């Protein structure tokens, strides 16, 4: 077992396992104990810590039944309950996301009274890292695969529901109140006002589409395998949401990192990727010009940058918000 050494300079980009080495060691030891006591985990081999969320969960690499595996270990009762829900979702989604070019990481077992959830380790590269190595045309083709993945994941559970925009607006408003970067706060306050206008316009339409979504759909939760299969990971946030929420999460994740694949923006995010979501998910005009921009507003405001975030990342956030605001004004 490997526990990363404690680094000298702790900052927001230092892995939590290095910032909290004692918790990391305790989590690894706990998994070893559970492996020894649960037949479902019998024969598991534990390798190294992938990620630690202190007091919540640990993500650990290893092997189970001679297959590469990822062990999610609960460090809190709420996480245990979440693992049970995630396992149920993995079981549901694996019935149709287990073949072809769009798949999920295969579920392996839920052990130790739902304190350990094991999925097959997806081989390959995280999509964000992968696309940076590609030529611009190949980048667009790759993100189009991501939009296809999402459309396939959502398809069996699509339904039309009342918009319910106010709860999303309230969450964004509450998040904005915690913004510590003045340059972001100034422009994001204006985005919030425009978001409210969008919400009122949405209310007049009466409904939007919902589905069981990924919940944290961004390029680093998609693995591009050696076989070119795209495998979704980390379904812990899945649940019924407006279908545009996952699209907006993916789009803003790219923009916050300065990634505009096509070199042009629409509502603050990459225009080509935006259009790919519109096409893959069959968005109509109202969805493409009201619903998706509304959720881009939400994702722009809900992801409050850490006070110690590097200036470069803050600048990307400002550019996202200003570009979004400019296009929202054109809707008037």
Return the sign of the alpha-carbon dihedral for residues 180, 76, 119, 281.
negative
Predicted confidence (pLDDT) per residue in 177-228, tens digit: 999 999 999 999 999 999 999 999 999 988 999 999 999 999 999 999 999 9
CA atoms within 13 A on the CB side of 13: 4
State the pLDDT confidence band at 306, using cuts at 50, 70 and 90.
confident
pLDDT of 11 above 80: no
Average pLDDT over residues 263-284: 97
**How much is the pLDDT for 6?**
34
pTM of the model: 0.92
State the pLDDT confidence band at 251, using cuts at 50, 70 and 90.
very high
**How much is the pLDDT for 332?**
77
The Cα 73–Cα 83 span in angstroms is: 9
All domains of the chain in start order, with CATH:
16-120 (3.30.200.20), 125-329 (3.90.1200.10)
Cβ-contact 39, 64 below 8 angstroms: no
pLDDT of 2 above 80: no
CA atoms within 13 A on the CB side of 67: 16
State the pLDDT confidence band at 15, using cuts at 50, 70 and 90.
low
Reading the block at residue 202, the tokens are 């949405």
Q: Where are the alpha helices (DSSP H) in the chain?
A: 16-19, 21-37, 77-93, 127-131, 136-154, 165-176, 182-205, 243-256, 271-280, 285-286, 292-302, 311-329
């Amino acid at each position: 077992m490997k526990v990363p050494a404690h680094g000298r300079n702790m900052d927001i980009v230092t892995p939590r396992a290095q910032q909290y080495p004692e918790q990391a060691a305790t989590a690894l030891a706990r998994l070893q104990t559970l492996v020894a006591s649960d037949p479902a985990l019998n024969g598991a081999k534990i390798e190294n810590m992938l990620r630690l969320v202190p007091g919540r969960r640990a993500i650990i690499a290893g092997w189970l039944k001679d297959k590469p595996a990822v062990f999610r270990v609960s460090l809190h009762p709420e996480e245990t309950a979440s693992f049970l829900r995630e396992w149920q979702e993995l079981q549901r989604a694996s019935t149709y996301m287990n073949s072809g070019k769009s798949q999920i990481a295969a579920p392996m077992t839920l052990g130790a009274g739902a304190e350990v959830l094991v999925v097959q380790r997806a081989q390959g590269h995280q999509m964000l890292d992968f696309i940076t190595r590609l030529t611009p045309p190949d980048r667009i083709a790759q993100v189009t695969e991501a939009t296809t993945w999402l459309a396939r994941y959502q398809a069996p559970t699509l339904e039309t529901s009342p918009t319910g925009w106010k709860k999303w607006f309230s969450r964004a408003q509450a998040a904005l109140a915690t913004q510590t970067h003045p340059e972001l706060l100034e422009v994001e306050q204006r985005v919030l006002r425009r978001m409210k206008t969008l919400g009122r316009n949405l209310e007049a339409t009466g409904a939007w589409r919902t589905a069981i979504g990924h919940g944290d759909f961004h390029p680093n939760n998609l693995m591009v395998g050696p076989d070119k299969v795209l495998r979704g990971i980390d379904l812990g946030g899945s649940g019924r949401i407006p279908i545009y929420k996952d699209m907006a999460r993916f789009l803003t994740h790219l923009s916050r990192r300065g990634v505009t694949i096509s070199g042009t923006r629409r509502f603050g995010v990459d225009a080509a990727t935006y259009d790919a979501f519109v096409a893959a998910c069959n968005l109509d005009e109202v969805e493409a010009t009201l619903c998706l921009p509304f959720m881009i507003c939400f994702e722009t405001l809900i992801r409050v940058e850490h006070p110690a975030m590097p200036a470069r990342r803050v600048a990307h956030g400002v550019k996202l918000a200003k570009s979004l605001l400019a296009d929202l004004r054109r809707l008037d």
